[in-house]
Amino acid sequence: MHNENLRRDEAADRSAIITVSSYEITLDVRAAEDAGSTGFSSRTVVTFDCSSPGADTFLDFIPARVQSVTLNGAVLDPEQVVDGARIMLPQLAEQNTVIVDGTALYSRSGEGMHRFEDPADGETYLYTQYEPADARRVFACFEQPDLKASFSFHVRAPERWTVASNGAETSRDQHDDGSATWHFAPTMRISTYITTVLAGPYESVTDEWTGILDGGEVLTIPLSLFCRRSLSAHLDAARIFDTTRRGLTYFHDLFQYPYPFGKYDQAFVPEYNLGAMENPGLVTFTESYVFQSRATHAQYEARDNTIMHEMAHMWFGDLVTMTWWDDLWLKESFADFSGALAVAEALDSPTSWVTFATRRKAWAYLQDQLPSTHPIVADIVDLEAAKLNFDGITYAKGASVLKQLVAYAGFEAFASAARSYFRKHAFSNTTLDDLLGALSEASGRDMSDWAQRWLQTSGVPQLAAQVETDDDGVYTSLAILQQALDPVSSTPAPRPHSVRLGLYSLDSNGRLLRTASHDVLLDGDRTEIPELIGSAQPDLLLINDDDLTYAKLVFDDRSLATLLSSADRLEEPLARAVCLAALWSSTRDGILSADDYVEAVGRTAPAEEGVGILQQLLQNARHAVEHYAPVPARMALRERFTRFLLRGLEAAAPGSDHQLVWARALAATARKTATLAPLVRGLLEGTETVDGLVIDDELTWQLWQALAAQNLATVDELEAALQRDRTASGRTGFTTACTSFPDTAVKARAWKEAVFGDRLSNELLSATMVGFQQGPSELRDPYVDAYFQEIERVWRELPIEMSARIVRGLYPGDQDLAEGSVPEDHPVVVLTDSWLDEHTGSPQSLRRIVVEERDHLLRALRAQQAAG
């Protein structure tokens, strides 16, 4: 629709004149089990005040059709007042009631009311997902975060179903047709994007949490878990409830503001676009967190982190909400930081911050070096821009900067600021200035300069040690240099860094141990470190020990040599994670070759105790082989990497998490390594075994995908495997395998399904595109021109969730640099540039994705050139 993309100025104009009191929303999903039923009835009754009687405004609604609109008792003609995604409301009174009856559509994109049919038993499941602005796909509303209200939901559904919403169920009406209507308690004042409905034959488990508040009051919170019936045997409820109870205890102690939303339900739902969503009273999660195959410690920790992240949102985001999407970081950065913090503190996890350094910050560094980089406090002009701003900057960079804030101002100041912020702004909306006021008051210092330099600038600062020593290896000069150019403004933007310098040396047993550390404040382009003058140069100087700040690191020559030869001897896990992340950053920048990086991983990974670090190292090394190694050297490097994986699998303890990580890495590598095919088939057929390794469903599909990509499996074999695993995840694995065959007809069908079809759900669309991208790039060459011809149409015709998947997933980015050529002259880069030049008027969100994909391709080509 032409006016779906609500602008920031339109939202500000609307909130300037209206205040919303309440919504009564009635949904009828009785026919959801009928595959031929495309929609459901939706009735909204909303009451609101207008500070300028006589003014006009509009509701947001994206239905199949609107049957009726009534404003203050007057029936309005839908033909006259419905304009695309908006319902115009003319001549408002001081107090207003509007009633909208319409038919909303079920979704297969994960936006609005998503409908899913379980392939295991044929059951139908519904859930909603709205952020940033898809509540309007389910009911008529004022779709912007600062127009909070109380919401009451009433849902009619098959009586055998389970139905849940934000509020507790208050009553249920039985009907003669085998349906029932569930009525739910009104919510506190919340934003539209965090309302929710869940309906279907979900299995549920209950528990409760009880805590004593500061004043001695006892607070009891009912807990529930939901998942599909066919998954219920895999739901480890006791472990999830334990994490939940510990989190509630921790956040109540930290924030000192009682959880205000009554019950705390958590639902694991199919084909979910996100990790989770912080709907108060009913948090939704991807059901991939219900582990059907064996899960490693890293996977459990990731789920714990997500549970804690969403719980932190109950305060940062739900209780206090940003006014507009510019300040999305006010909830996401804080939740990302608080999630890692709670896993470390509430669950006593020694690896939480290691995982953060290894995975989350890697995401931030990647995102912040793209041409689309932006400040943490972003300039979000409309909803499409908001949709794409749920990125590594808003989440992980913001969380990293908050960790630096704690190092700079102190943890108590951070906690005190959060407490006063919640008390002052409960159930309302805020901007950056509101948080700065709380931080300045709590820390006793003006935080505006710190915020301007960290939150309102872009790019990754770089910290490098400049070292001089005498003939005895004693420091005669040591300074830390900072390079920090804001790529958006093209101006210098040095940040203040409260860091810990770690000095590490090899002991007589060959262990690389910390011998000293010094806390320093780095500011400006150059900071002298006089306290280390006269001391012996260590084997490794780690500028960002304990990972307190956000910066790329450049090691001095001796430190780099130590890391390349002895990173496996660095016993401190967080220091090791920081150093290995820095090596990966150098590889991505073309400073360290793919060959050198894989060699370093080959020495480090076999001794790596952290499963999360091991998993990331092997993923990085595989990416380096396939994308950063020059073509003439790639085959030999791939074979060397393969031998290294085989040795790692053989040496791993039977039945260990490490063994499973090595096996999964081997399966992924086997997609391009024909020499592994006999082992892969042997593992599938049972003629090859690895002591302690169970070939579960997840690994089975990874192995079949590897054989299919090498054209060493048959469709009949894949269909037989699907008959043995008739689950949603099995169907996804099957889809990827079937589209992985290196066959022109297979690629043609996959392309047609993804670009022109309407049969695929969000998850199956992604699975199809993953398979399409397998095999020699020559198979996909015929679709390069077609990609650029179709993406604008795709963006125009499909929901943004589906169109964004297609534009990213089908970009022809798997390319190699011909010997002697220049990356910028590569045909795909030239085509991309031509499209961007010729489509300056295309939606900025579409252009952003294309620009980002171009940058990923150029980075790979430049790395190949540098190593060639």
The neighbour count for residue 574, using CB atoms within 10 Å, is 20
In the numeric block, which tokens belong to residue 659?
């063994």
Q: How far apart are CA 555 and CA 570, in angstroms?
A: 15
> Burial level of 268, CB count in 10 A (0-12/13-18/19+)?
buried
Parallel/antiparallel/unpaired status of strands 428-430 and 540-545: unpaired
- Helix runs in 31-141, H state only: 78-81
Are 521 and 495 within 8 A, CB to CB?
Answer: no
Q: Which helix (H) or strand (E) holds 831?
A: helix 827-838
Q: How far apart are CA 742 and CA 294, in angstroms?
A: 30
Spatial CB neighbours of 282, under 8 Å, sequence gap ≥ 6: 164, 165, 166, 196, 198, 263, 265, 266, 267
Q: 26: which strand partners?
A: 43, 154
**What is the distance of C-alpha 713 from the center of its chain?**
33
Closest CA to 30 of 134, 161, 223: 161
Q: What is the DSSP string of 623-643?
A: HIIIIIS-HHHHHHHHHHHHH
**What is the distance of C-alpha 177 from the center of its chain?**
42
Q: Which helix (H) or strand (E) holds 292?
A: none
Closest CA to 625 of 646, 650, 603, 644: 644
Considering only the C-alpha atoms of the chain, give the largest distance between any 2 of them, rounded to a whole number of Å. Answer: 94
Q: Indicate which residue of 310, 332, 608, 753 is catalytic.
A: 310
In the numeric block, which tokens belong to residue 299?
């996977």
Alpha carbon distance, N-terminus to C-terminus of the chain: 49
Q: How far apart are CA 76 and CA 97, in angstroms?
A: 13
Residue type, 316: F
Q: How far apart are CA 58 and CA 90, in angstroms?
A: 8
Are 164 and 267 within 8 A, CB to CB?
Answer: yes
Are 226 and 268 within 8 A, CB to CB?
Answer: yes
Closest CA to 267 of 290, 238, 249, 247: 290
Peptide bond into 145 cis (omega under 30): no
In the numeric block, which tokens belong to residue 718?
């894949």
Residue type, 131: E
310 is catalytic: yes
Q: Positive or negative CA dihedral for 531, 533, 534, 537? A: positive
Are 580 and 613 within 8 A, CB to CB?
Answer: yes
Torsion of CA 314, 318, 323, 329, to 10 degrees: 30
What is the spatial order of strands in the sheet that 540-545 belongs to?
512-522, 497-506, 540-545
Q: 200: which strand partners?
A: 162
What is the spatial order of strands in the sheet that 552-554 belongs to?
526-528, 475-483, 462-469, 552-554
CA angle in degrees (0–180, nearest 5) for 762-197-132: 60
Torsion of CA 484, 856, 326, 144, to 10 degrees: -170
Are 380 and 324 within 8 A, CB to CB?
Answer: yes
Q: How far apart are CA 788 and CA 829, in angstroms?
A: 12
Are 134 and 762 within 8 A, CB to CB?
Answer: no
What are the residue numbers of the active site?
310
